[in-house]
């Protein structure tokens, strides 16, 4: 076939570039003479951002798919286990204001309306009533035992990791095991076919590198999709105000200090602070709105948080990031597809950045066009899927702000203004006044956030629905009570059986995990 797609050229390394390269190479036998060729061009002059340190449980499937040892990954990427997110001071800014978005599905979620039962126990946070995982996190427990095999779980989990080390780890795996060609060079020019397709990327020292399909993983610059094709982003700053971030890498005070098994997100006057525990340090950063806070005030709040946590911060210099929140409604144009930051970026409140890389790389690999003739129809499908996904991410993040009752700054008041809330989210909130989120509201097979996640946020922040009286209500409450009892029983058993988080990580470093 004269127009067969045989060579994939990826521009940019980092987590996005190397994850994409790994998935395509593993799926399409790049290491063999008959497989697809994959070349990744990475400029030695451009550092990666490297501050995205949270993943979703999907990363376990991705690492297993590309043939990585979980033990090696944890050892080499300073990785720890993540069982969800804890939100502090988001609702009322009181000392006792916190709730969880865990990774474990609510007990009995597919069996009955748990919300009907929770309304009788509103003194207990929703997540703690329907899931064992908040209790495991509060007790500092790991999500697996010493004998649990790689990638298997007692409680569902993802990872906290050093993003810079992840890129190096994946690069080594791709080049040494999967047959990916790595070109360390700077792209100086783009060669184009008469049709308008990209023909080759011309490099400073390696000449022109031709390809059939080009993947833009060049970060926020989007050198191919935006720089060349002028496919600009759809701005969402009118919905999600945050456009700045400050990040610190903070050492633990002692080698025995506990390691949190959840991302902690603590609301501030004009943004929020993330706190992520790795094996050797904590990643702590402040995401904020430049329209509501100066850089100096944001840094002062970040340093105050670090000091209040009993950590030293005076010698640390934060990494400063600016971003324009938005996404590209068209991420695949002609023979160029953007993955990662090149496709869009919004604040990392729910760690959606890396999972969107996984989803994009997986769909690209599984839908890999055989010829140029079939590429446009796949591109239309791809664009539809990711425009929808980004819209849903924006809605889900906005939900955290709309439900807040904080009134200590214009930032929080502005976030509740009706004109800043997407119409589709307003419609869902009106519907959820009378029924809980369900598969009918979020009906795609591969929703980024399933309906259970929406429930964790809604009821974690105290949203109280107006339940309709039905003949089934008493039955639903009774079944829900049964599931709440199951959660209590499982909690007792798992707290007794699971090791501490740091204890588990020490075991992995020293002895590894059983391989299936």
pLDDT tens string for the chain (516 positions)? Answer: 569 999 999 999 999 999 999 999 999 999 999 999 999 999 987 776 655 589 999 999 999 999 999 999 999 999 999 999 999 999 999 999 999 999 999 999 988 999 999 998 888 999 999 999 999 999 999 999 999 999 999 999 999 999 999 999 999 999 999 999 999 999 999 999 999 999 999 999 999 999 999 999 999 999 999 999 999 999 999 999 999 999 999 999 999 999 999 999 999 999 999 999 999 999 999 999 999 999 999 999 999 999 999 999 888 999 999 999 999 989 999 999 999 999 999 999 999 999 999 999 999 999 999 999 999 999 999 999 999 999 999 999 999 999 999 999 999 999 999 999 999 999 999 999 999 999 899 888 889 999 999 999 999 999 999 877 665 678 889 999 999 999 999 999 999 999 999 999 999 999 999 997
pLDDT value for 49: 63
Q: Which residues contact 23 (CB under 8 A, 6 or more apart)?
A: 62, 65, 66, 358, 361, 362, 364, 365
**Which tokens is 31 given?**
């290491």
Helix, strand or coil, per DSSP, at residue 449: coil
Helix, strand or coil, per DSSP, at residue 503: helix
**Which tokens is 271 given?**
């943004």
Query: Contact at 8 Å (CB) between 349 and 265?
Result: yes
Q: Which helix (H) or strand (E) holds 10?
A: strand 7-11
pLDDT value for 474: 80
pLDDT value for 445: 81
Q: What are the helix (H) ranges across 159-294? A: 163-177
**Which tokens is 161 given?**
């990791």
Query: Contact at 8 Å (CB) between 253 and 277?
Result: no
36-79: pLDDT as tens digits = 999 999 998 777 665 558 999 999 999 999 999 999 999 999 99
Query: Contact at 8 Å (CB) between 31 and 177?
Result: yes
Q: For residues 404 and 95, what is the distance between their CA atoms, to the nearest angstrom? A: 15
439-495: pLDDT as tens digits = 899 888 889 999 999 999 999 999 999 877 665 678 889 999 999 999 999 999 999
The mean pLDDT value of the chain amounts to 95
pTM for the full predicted model: 0.96
At the topology level of CATH, where does 7-78+159-237+327-390 sit? FAD/NAD(P)-binding domain (3.50.50)
Per-domain residue ranges for the chain?
A: 7-78+159-237+327-390
Q: Which residue, 334, 335, 356, 336, is CA-closest to 345? A: 356
pLDDT value for 51: 59
Using CA atoms, how far residue 468 sits from 124, 435, 457, 474, in Å, is 22, 8, 21, 12
pLDDT value for 516: 77
**Listing from the earlier edge strand, what are the strands of the sheet with 336-338?**
181-184, 37-42, 7-11, 213-216, 336-338, 332-333
pLDDT value for 471: 57
The beta strand positions in 130-289, using DSSP E, are: 158-160, 181-184, 187-192, 198-203, 207-210, 213-216, 234-235, 244-251, 263-268, 271-277, 281-288
pLDDT value for 52: 59
Q: For residues 334 and 332, what is the distance between their CA atoms, to the nearest angstrom? A: 7
Query: Contact at 8 Å (CB) between 360 and 386?
Result: yes
Q: Which residue, 275, 382, 303, 278, is CA-closest to 335? A: 382
Q: Classify residue 507 as exposed, middle or buried by CB count within 10 Å of its CB (0-12, 13-18, 19+).
A: middle
Q: Classify residue 216 as exposed, middle or buried by CB count within 10 Å of its CB (0-12, 13-18, 19+).
A: buried
Output the DSSP codes for 66-130.
Answer: TT--HHHHHHHTT-EEE-EEEEESSSS--TT-EEEEESSPPTTTTTS-HHHHHGGGTTS-HHHHH
Q: For residues 186 and 105, what is the distance between their CA atoms, to the nearest angstrom? A: 46
């Amino acid at each position: 076939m004269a127009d067969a797609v045989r060579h994939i050229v990826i521009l940019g390394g980092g987590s996005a570039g190397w994850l994409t390269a790994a998935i395509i190479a593993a799926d399409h036998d790049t290491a063999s003479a008959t497989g697809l060729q994959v070349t990744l061009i990475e400029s030695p002059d451009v550092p990666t951002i490297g501050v995205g340190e949270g993943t979703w449980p999907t990363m376990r499937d991705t690492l297993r798919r590309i043939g990585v040892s979980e033990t090696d990954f944890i050892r080499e990427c300073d990785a720890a286990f993540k069982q969800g997110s804890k939100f502090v001071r988001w609702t009322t800014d009181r000392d006792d204001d916190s709730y969880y978005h865990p990774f474990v599905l609510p007990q009995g979620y597919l069996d009955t309306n748990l919300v009907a039962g929770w309304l009788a126990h509103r003194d207990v946070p929703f997540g703690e009533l329907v899931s064992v995982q908040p209790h495991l996190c509060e007790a500092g427990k790991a999500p697996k035992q010493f004998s649990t095999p790689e990638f298997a779980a007692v409680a569902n989990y993802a990872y906290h990791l050093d993003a810079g080390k992840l890129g190096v780890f994946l690069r080594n795996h791709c080049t040494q095991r999967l047959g990916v060609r790595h070109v360390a060079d700077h792209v100086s020019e783009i060669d184009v076919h008469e049709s308008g397709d990209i023909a080759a990327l011309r490099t400073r020292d390696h000449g022109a590198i031709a390809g059939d399909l080009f993947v833009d993983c060049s970060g926020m610059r989007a050198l191919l999709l935006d720089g060349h094709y002028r496919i600009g982003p759809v701005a969402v700053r009118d919905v999600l105000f945050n456009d700045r971030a400050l990040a610190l890498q903070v050492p633990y005070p002692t080698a025995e200090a506990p390691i949190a098994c959840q991302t902690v997100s603590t609301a501030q006057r004009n943004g929020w602070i993330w706190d992520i525990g790795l094996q050797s340090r904590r990643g702590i950063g402040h995401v904020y709105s430049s329209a509501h806070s100066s850089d100096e005030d944001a840094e002062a709040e970040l340093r105050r948080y670090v000091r209040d946590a009993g950590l030293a911060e005076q010698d640390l210099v934060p990494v400063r990031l600016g971003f324009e929140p938005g996404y590209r409604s068209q991420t695949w144009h002609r023979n160029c597809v953007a993955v990662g930051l090149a496709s869009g970026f919004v604040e990392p409140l729910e760690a959606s950045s890396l999972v969107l890389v996984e989803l994009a790389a997986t769909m690209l690999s599984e839908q890999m066009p055989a010829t140029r003739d079939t590429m446009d129809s796949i591109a239309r499908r791809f664009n539809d899927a990711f425009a929808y996904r980004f819209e849903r991410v924006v809605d889900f993040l906005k939900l955290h702000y709309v439900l807040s009752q904080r009134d200590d700054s214009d930032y929080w008041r502005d976030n509740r203004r009706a004109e800043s809330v997407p119409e589709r989210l307003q419609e869902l909130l009106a519907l959820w006044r009378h029924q809980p989120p369900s598969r009918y509201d979020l009906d795609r097979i591969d929703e980024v956030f399933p309906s259970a996640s929406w429930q964790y946020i809604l009821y974690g922040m105290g949203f109280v629905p107006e339940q309709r009286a039905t003949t089934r209500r008493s039955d639903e409450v009774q079944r829900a009570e049964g599931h709440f009892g199951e959660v209590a029983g499982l909690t007792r058993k798992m707290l007794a059986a699971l090791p501490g988080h740091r204890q588990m990580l020490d075991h992995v470093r020293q002895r590894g995990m059983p391989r299936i």
